[in-house]
Amino acid sequence: MRNLNKCTVLLLFIIIFINSNLIFAQNNQLWYNKPAEKWTDALPIGNGRIGAMIYGGVETDHIQFNEETLWTGKPRNYNRKGASAYLAQIRTLLFEGKQKEAEDLAQKQFMGLQSENGDRTKWVKEMQSGKGLVGKPALENFDDKLWKTIQVPSYEGWEAVGLANLDGAVWFRTTFDVPENWLGKNLVLDLNRIRDQDFTFINGKLVGNTDNLEPRKYTIPAKLIKKGKNVIAIQVLNYFDKGGLTGYKDTKKKIGIYPEGSNVEQGVSLVKLWKYKIQDENPPEVAQYQASYQPFGDLNLYFKKGKSAVTNYKRSLDLNTAISKTTYTLDGVKYQRTYFASQPNQAVVIHLSADKTGSIAFEAVLSSVHQKTEIKSLDKNSIVLNVQVKDGALKGEATLTAEVKKGTIKIINNKIVITGADEATLFLTAATNFVNANDVSGNPKLKNSGAVLGLLGTPYEDLKARHIKEYQTYYNTFSVNFGQSENENLPTDQRLEKFGTSKDAAFTALYMQYGRYLLISSSRPGTQPANLQGIWNDLLSPPWGSKYTTNINFEMNYWPTEILNLSALNEPLFKKIKGLSVSGKETAKEYYNAKGWVLHHNTDLWNGTAPINASNHGIWVSGGGWLSQHLWEHYLFNNDKKFLQTEGYPLMKEAALFFEGFLIKDPKTGWLISTPSNSPENGGLVAGPTMDHQIIRTLFRNCIEASKILGIDEAFRKSLEEKVVQIAPNQIGKHGQLQEWLEDKDDTTNKHRHVSHLWGVYPGNDINWDADKTMMNAAKQSLLYRGDDATGWSLAWKINFWARFKDGDHGMKLIKMLLKPANGGAGSYVNLFDAHPPFQIDGNFGGAAGIAEMIVQSQQGYLDILPALPAEIPFGEIKGLKARGGFELNINWDQSKLTMFEIKSKVGGVCKIKYQGKEKEIVTKAGESYKLNGDLKVL
């Protein structure tokens, strides 16, 4: 070094500095070297209320967008009046071991009310009569040469192979050749599942009609078959959700036709392109227990094709700024598009620029998958999209407004046409008429015009600066660095592919921050809470309605809020709990003749709380108890006594009041148990599922402690103290496992995705190492029996379990399973969205929380430092991790050993610390910080 001159040394320093900062930037960036091909490749942006998916195409850029309050349905009463009259009978049947009888009675008398049903009989007759068609497609000689083709079958429905967002009547036609040795034999047509009803014809003759999801195997009489070419024609009537010939979930199994007595492998496969024709897209309304989240619209930007090939293409998402970019070079010009969803200005902002003046030219077009859609010009630089949800009360309006630097703007055929501009900025706003769960009198036009007024004339750089400043008030509360990785220079899709076989701890850190980014983007104060897909959805019939599944998925969305320093993002959740407590009070009265409020296993925009779907899983009573845990945890992490007094405890108390009246003495054991209920979503309707008892016991204990802290409700506290010790305890079964039910009937070969009876391990604290090591080991045995393989969100939950079991390497194994290419199974999509499959955002949130649980735990009354550190994360620097007691932590470790630990005390009090057998106790003062070394000595 002494032989190098000062300039060389300075240059080397600059290069090292730049490279290190590039690596750091990539730690917080998703990026790709090609445009998105499908929705789960696209990059999500959101301001809590409006969400958009950025595809980043060169000739066509697609931006699919949502607004959080566009749902199906309308305000209505979900509760079945007088259901409580059947409660005693259902319980008696369960006590007598008559589960099926109990489920049948509950299905008939105890489920919630569905929405209105359309006239299906009339519609089916119209479809059978050929309404909307010319000719008869069932006939053998029908001319279908102008029909389009589609792949058959598709297990995910025709939506996955080209007929997105379609419900209705569709005809399918194909042919098959019959060899001479088949003649005179009956044939079997094996189609397996068709959604929902089919009329199947062979050579013009009806051979089968089924109106359910049962497998289709139709016997074809020999007399209908002729040598050579034969024609299959199928009229498929799809009423709701997936449509078409869905075949087998195991795609190795083929649909086909074969001689009776043989099998499809010896026959003719029908897995191929079929011809199809849409007959009608307006099936009758289907009765629903709850509503579904809806897509809003699509913005497409069309650009002229270049003379040369595109080079230097990159699309990215910067988690530090919540800004997505698409950059490329075409015909010697460098182009850049920048996208962000601004909370201060309530709009998606898209900025287009180039390094050559006058190069920005494109058409901007709005559209929507909703049938009731209207696009019109608003003024000289704006167009507007209006949508009406089918069979629902909600309508929405989106406005697209353009500004340019030089160049021209014209509205032609309801499209924005921009030519010759140096720069262009698009403002996309969206709103609906939703006010609250009981009021749909809002004015979306007024909401949008107010947002647009705040945008026009404001310099783009000012809008961007406002957006970044607001976003970073949340994002910058936490940082994580797990070191560098060779894979950081790879595009994110390639990095994902290599993660399972690489040492890439930095990718784990990126995943933590991505989870935080997604929660900030889908749950800001003043918005609705994040649903099953956050705020991102492109389907009219999304998986599970993209609702709020309250037997884990809704709650998992909010696991990162406290530990990953995003407490303010709980506000939409807490507001939702208040709304649910109102509707849940009526449900408690109608179904259980009980005080307080109850929530079953799903809810929606309209705050439905009654049992839904089927009695074998829809009657689960502990949603309110679980949500109450979030209220208590918020207090524990922040020691906010005012919150506890005014918001948390009143809702917790009402939930506890319900269970106080609901619990019943088990005639066999004498314990207080929960019934009727379910161990989600496993084992059917039962008496006494372990999960319920853990949640109720925890809720009672929390209410007892809260009443002491607040100095109120002594009589209620004593009542809970008497009952909490009578609740059926956790039990160890014959296999050394924690029992899932009151009876010792666990099946050790059952690999069910739900591990509900381990709620007491995480997110609860009903079972822990300090209180009962034996029970903790039994819970661990249960998890070992259940196995590692699971759906995406279940993998995320198991990461948290293994963190609590203090086995970081097993937890890391699950992280690698969660962060593997989905490819039709569980894992992560190209954009790192969690794959159930299909997409569910809870796995992203649960996974991020699970990694944090490996670093610090505080549920046992002290800070447990690095309790489950994986060997693959030997280095780490974390700032802003939160712990119960009102503490904020900075933690450094190297070579898997703690090197520095800093505690920031928000409210003061005693802080107990444990690390590898060492213990420390510090009396802290509010606002003060305390640094310790790896030996827990104060520095």
Q: How far apart are CA 801 and CA 854, in angstroms?
A: 10
**Using one digit for the tens of pLDDT, what is the confidence trace for 503-549?**
999 999 999 999 999 999 999 999 999 999 999 999 999 999 999 99
Task: Find the mean pLDDT for residues 641-654.
Answer: 98
Q: Residue 17: what pLDDT?
A: 41
Q: How far apart are CA 349 and CA 340, in angstroms?
A: 5
Q: How far apart are CA 177 and CA 269, in angstroms?
A: 11
What does residue 403 show for φ and ψ, rounded to 5 degrees? -130, 145
Q: Is the pLDDT score of 24 beyond 90?
A: no
User: What stretch(es) of the chain map to CATH 2.60.120.260?
Assistant: 120-280
- Across-strand partners of 672? 665, 727
Cβ(371)–Cβ(282) under 8 Å?
yes
Cβ(216)–Cβ(244) under 8 Å?
no
Cβ(815)–Cβ(851) under 8 Å?
yes
Task: Find the mean pLDDT for residues 757-786.
Answer: 97
Q: Is the pLDDT score of 845 beyond 70?
A: yes
Task: Find the mean pLDDT for residues 677-694.
Answer: 97
Task: Find the mean pLDDT for residues 656-683.
Answer: 97
- Residue recorded with tokens 């959604």: 195
Q: How far apart are CA 235 and CA 245, in angstroms?
A: 10
Q: Residue 8: what pLDDT?
A: 42
Pairing status of strand 197-202 against strand 228-238: antiparallel
Q: Residue 1: what pLDDT?
A: 38
Task: Find the mean pLDDT for residues 350-365.
Answer: 98
Structurally, at CATH architecture level, domain 120-280 sits in Sandwich (2.60)
H/E/C letters for each residue in 376-440?
EEEECCEEEEEEECCCCCCEEEEEEEEEEECCEEEEECCEEEEEEECEEEEEEEEEECCCECCEC
Q: Is the pLDDT score of 23 beyond 50?
A: no
CA dihedral of 914, 920, 924, 929, whole degrees rounded to 10: -70
Task: Find the mean pLDDT for residues 783-806.
Answer: 97
Q: Residue 164: what pLDDT?
A: 87
Task: Find the mean pLDDT for residues 472-477.
Answer: 98
CB contact set of 772 (below 8 Å; sequence gap of 6+): none
Which of 759, 760, 730, 765 minimizes the C-alpha distance to 864? 765
CB contact set of 394 (below 8 Å; sequence gap of 6+): 69, 70, 71, 72, 73, 74, 294, 388, 432, 433, 434, 440
Task: Find the mean pLDDT for residues 593-610.
Answer: 98
Which of 933, 836, 860, 919 minimizes the C-alpha distance to 891? 933
Q: Residue 251: what pLDDT?
A: 87
Q: Cα–Cα distances in Å, from 745 out to 728, 738, 753?
A: 16, 11, 18
Structurally, at CATH architecture level, domain 8-72+292-476 sits in Distorted Sandwich (2.70)
Task: Find the mean pLDDT for residues 766-784.
Answer: 97
Task: Find the mean pLDDT for residues 37-49.
Answer: 98
User: What stretch(es) of the chain map to CATH 2.70.98.50?
Assistant: 8-72+292-476
Q: Residue 847: what pLDDT?
A: 98
The CATH class given to the 79-112+548-787 domain equals mainly alpha
Q: Comparing 7-21, 49-63, 460-474, 857-871, which segment has the lowest mean pLDDT?
A: 7-21
- Across-strand partners of 189? 218, 257
What does residue 737 show for φ and ψ, rounded to 5 degrees? -100, 160
Cβ(840)–Cβ(829) under 8 Å?
no
Q: Is the pLDDT score of 322 beyond 90?
A: yes
Q: Is the pLDDT score of 25 beyond 90?
A: no
Q: Is the pLDDT score of 95 beyond 60?
A: yes
CB contact set of 286 (below 8 Å; sequence gap of 6+): 117, 118, 239, 240
User: What stretch(es) of the chain map to CATH 1.50.10.10?
Assistant: 79-112+548-787
**Average pLDDT score over the chain:** 95
Q: Residue 720: what pLDDT?
A: 98
pLDDT band at 824 (very low <50, low <70, confident <90, very high): confident
Q: Cα–Cα distances in Å, from 772 out to 742, 760, 762?
A: 19, 12, 15
Which of 277, 269, 224, 276 minimizes the C-alpha distance to 247? 269
Q: Cα–Cα distances in Å, from 268 out to 190, 262, 368, 772?
A: 10, 12, 40, 61
Query: Residues of the chain with pLDDT > 90: what percent?
Result: 95
Cβ(51)–Cβ(342) under 8 Å?
no
Task: Find the mean pLDDT for residues 710-726.
Answer: 97
CA dihedral of 766, 767, 769, 773, whole degrees rounded to 10: 140
Q: How far apart are CA 861 and CA 828, in angstroms?
A: 35
Residue 111: other Cβ atoms inside 10 A: 21
H/E/C letters for each residue in 44-68?
EEECCCEEEEECCCCCEEEEEEEEC
User: What one-character-per-residue DSSP string does 665-679 give?
Assistant: E-TTT--EE--SEEE
Three-class SS state of 301:
strand
Q: How far apart are CA 147 and CA 171, in angstroms?
A: 10
Amino acid at position 744, single letter: D
pLDDT band at 53 (very low <50, low <70, confident <90, very high): very high
Half-sphere exposure of 509 (CA within 13 A, CB side): 28
Q: Residue 18: what pLDDT?
A: 39
Which of 675, 581, 703, 605 minimizes the C-alpha distance to 106? 675
Q: Residue 886: what pLDDT?
A: 97
Q: Cα–Cα distances in Å, from 803 out to 22, 75, 768, 796?
A: 32, 42, 12, 11
